[in-house]
Structure 1
Amino acid sequence: MSPRTRRRSRSAPARPLTLGARLRRLRLERGLTMKEVARRAALTESFISQLERDRVNPSVASLQRLTAALGTPLGRLFDEASPPEGRVVRRAQRARLTYPGLRATDYLLSPDLSGKLEMIWAEAEPGGGSGDQPYVHAGDEECVVVIKGRMEIWVGEERYVLHAGDAITFSSRVPHKWQNVGRGRLEALWAITPPSY
């Protein structure tokens, strides 16, 4: 390798870990086998293996069961971003959690998860969302505001369709799921208290 090549490779930004790689790292840090994590999460060992190799696309509900089995909050799966400047989180510094198969991405707007409020900017392509399985949070309450697009959200047994400017508030402990039912990109702002994602 020439000195010129070495210089370029040193200055190239590191690629963020994939979701599967982050889950594998958490599992290994805890000294757990795939079999043990599968048992704790009530998922198959094959599913865990495929997930760690980014060959399957988990729902938010499956990720919650996995992170609970690993003893860590789901928010720990966000990409490691640049540290924010004080309490300001610049667009380029947002931590990100991408759900490739669900065609959705969450961006953490809160500087960290140590405060009393968690703010998430969610984007989803048409048909994208949280997956087929409803999920719950350990938090108390959340509010969703649709910024752009159209969202179908199920809270318990109730179905709602929200358009740009619409908002909904509900208990985080009630099973819920959501999907972009519009023709374009969905953008929504989520506020969760206390942070529980």
Structure 2
Amino acid sequence: MHVGEGSIRERLAVNLRRARTERGLSISELSRRSAIGKATLSQLESGTGNPTIETVFSLSRVLEVAISDLLDATPPAGPTVVRAAEVEALSGEGVDLRPLRRIEAGDAVFEVFDQRVRADRRQDSLGHVGTEHTIVQAGRLGVRVEGREVELGPGDYVAFDATLPHAYTALDGEVRSVLLLQYRADQRLHLADTSDGTVDTP
């Protein structure tokens, strides 16, 4: 996942338009399926909206595409260094996500995020494509997946089918963790690039 080119809202504007067009959906139909207002979708596609975790994950679920297909810019050549202070966070009710990198290996695609669950907060998700992997670095994290709950501490790991409803809760202060989202090749939109390396817009 390359995050150094443009803001999250700028990249989402380009990629959301592309994904919606690829799926043959009007803004009205996407609004109906995602329960996101047409005005909000129009703002997101024009780059003037304020995307949240809930919005982006809802769009990922409805469009059946990886998060990185909505947030990525064109990948750079050579080594990639991501400085924490330079990465814009995508925030939700209880979580701040900083996209760090997309890794493609054969048919598998992984997205790596720095995930922070704010103290005494909960982040709910209706589900989205992919498999979710979380490794706790600091704090105690409550994870609920379709009614089953587990508690994780530093060094603990959990994985589950991300299409299931799930939630993260910070149980004792802020939780710092690494989130990896794993996708099969058929769960990605495969946005085409133009010959000059820029993303081709419809």
TM range (shorter): 0.5 to 0.7
**Alignment-derived partner of residue 131 in structure 1:** 123
Does the CA-based 8 Å contact 1:136-1:176 persist in structure 2?
no
**Which of the numbers 150, 170, 178 marks the counterpart of 1:160?**
150
Do residues 111 (structure 1) and 103 (structure 2) align? Answer: yes
**Alignment-derived partner of residue 198 in structure 2:** none
For residue 164 of structure 1, report the CA deviation from its aligned partner: 0.7
**Alignment-derived partner of residue 52 in structure 2:** 57
Give me the CA root mean square deviation. Answer: 3.9
**Which of the numbers 13, 37, 42 marks the counterpart of 1:24?**
13
**Alignment-derived partner of residue 30 in structure 2:** 37
**Alignment-derived partner of residue 99 in structure 1:** 90
Inter-partner Cα distance in structure 2 for 1:81 and 1:180: 34
1:98-153 per-position Cα deviation (integer Å, ceiling 9, x unaligned): 3234441143434347642514233215249883333132x3x4432112222221
* TM-score, L = length of structure 1: 0.63
Does the CA-based 8 Å contact 1:77-1:97 persist in structure 2?
no
**Which of the numbers 70, 75, 78 marks the counterpart of 2:71?**
78
Q: 1:72 to 1:194 in 2, by over 3 A?
A: closer
Matching residue's letter, 1:54 = G
Inter-partner Cα distance in structure 1 for 2:177 and 2:74: 21
Matching residue's letter, 2:59 = L
SS of the equivalent of 1:190 reads strand
Aligned pairs, number: 176
Do residues 90 (structure 1) and 85 (structure 2) align? Answer: no
SS of the equivalent of 1:165 reads coil
SS of the equivalent of 1:192 reads strand
Inter-partner Cα distance in structure 2 for 1:151 and 1:99: 19
Does the CA-based 8 Å contact 1:18-1:54 persist in structure 2?
no
Matching residue's letter, 1:174 = L
Structure 2 gap segments, 5+ residues each: 189-202
For residue 97 of structure 1, report the CA deviation from its aligned partner: 7.1
- Stretch of structure 1 that moved more, 122-131 or 38-47: 122-131
SS of the equivalent of 1:152 reads strand
Do residues 122 (structure 1) and 111 (structure 2) align? Answer: no
SS of the equivalent of 1:91 reads coil
**Which of the numbers 151, 156, 172 marks the counterpart of 2:162?**
172
Q: 1:90 to 1:119 in 2, by over 3 A?
A: same
For residue 26 of structure 1, report the CA deviation from its aligned partner: 3.3
Does the CA-based 8 Å contact 1:126-1:182 persist in structure 2?
no
Select the structure of larger CA radius of gyration. 1
Matching residue's letter, 1:118 = F
**Which of the numbers 116, 133, 140 marks the counterpart of 1:150?**
140
